[in-house]
Amino acid sequence: MRGSGMNGDSINRLVILALALTVLGDFLALLAELLNQRYTNNASKEAEIKLQDELNQIHGELAALKARFDQSLPPGG
């Protein structure tokens, strides 16, 4: 960052990072829930499959956000 203000690229990177952290939080919450469901064996197989599908979807979203973030970095940064 140059000067006293943030440029548009820095703001974009911060927004992407915030989104990635939010998705990561969702991912970890679902992972914890899935592990708890398996451990206690209270979930039906259908619920487990649904949670796994949601987990896979969030993992894909996180990968896409990471790719966007990586592309927003300057070369060598």
Measure the CA–CA gap between 11 and 27, rounded to whole angstroms.
24
Prediction pTM value: 0.51
Burial 62-76 (b: 16+ CB within 10 A, else e): beebeeebeebeeee
| Averaged pLDDT for residues 19-47 | 82
Q: Which has more pLDDT, 26 or 4?
A: 26
Question: What is the total residue count of the chain?
Answer: 77
| Averaged pLDDT for residues 28-44 | 79
Q: Which residue has the tokens 């992972």?
A: 31
Per-residue pLDDT band at 5 (split at 50, 70, 90): low
| Averaged pLDDT for residues 19-40 | 86
Measure the CA–CA gap between 71 and 69, rounded to whole angstroms.
5
